[in-house]
Amino acid sequence: AIGQGDRHLLAMAELACERGVWDRCINTSERTREVWSLAQRYPMPHGDVLKARAQEAGLDPATVFGLVRQESRFQADAQSYVGATGLMQLMPYTAIRLSKLFDDSEFKLDQLQVADTNITYGSLYLSLLLHYYGGHEIPAVAAYNAGPNIVNKWLRECQDCPNDAFVEFIPYAETRNY
């Protein structure tokens, strides 16, 4: 039988999901022990836009869904303590560089709060990182989170490491847990 605590948590998570408070939907659902809801733990808000932008950037939508879930828990207005913004937690400097690279003279930083713009720019950035790292997802995703300069340093320090050893070598817990 499902414990009373799990029933309560699932109900609270469902309420958060219904209200579009995705971080609380996921976080509350993850606290259940005996039973869980995949729909609550892995929701797909902004699904059509996310799939379309990922495919336009040549990415697997599942990778982008996973990145958005990890970065912002699907909160379009998310702000990190270092200044990353939106669903895909883009740094303002990165977004400005991308707007210049893709000749988007209409781009303004406040557009990073708009799901479509944030997903577009975040997907393009991840695509560039994948290209830079020769299609290898582990350093590309690590660089998305920690920055390419630091990931390049880690790669130099862990040359010829198999993927699992490289992941364990990453000193940033947030990046390592991706």
71 catalytic? Reply is yes
Side chain identity at 166, as an amino acid letter?
F
Asked whether the beta carbons of 139 and 102 are under 8 A apart, the reply is no
Candidates 18, 30, 56, 71; catalytic one: 71
State the residue for tokens 């883009």.
90
What is the SS3 assignment for 59? coil
Asked whether the beta carbons of 59 and 111 are under 8 A apart, the reply is no
Q: CB atoms < 10 A from the CB of 175, how many?
A: 19
Hey, what are 48's tokens? Answer: 């059509």
| H helix intervals, the chain | 4-18, 22-29, 38-41, 47-56, 61-72, 92-101, 115-132, 137-146, 148-157, 163-169, 173-176
Asked whether the beta carbons of 115 and 46 are under 8 A apart, the reply is yes
Q: Which active-site residues does the annotation give?
A: 71
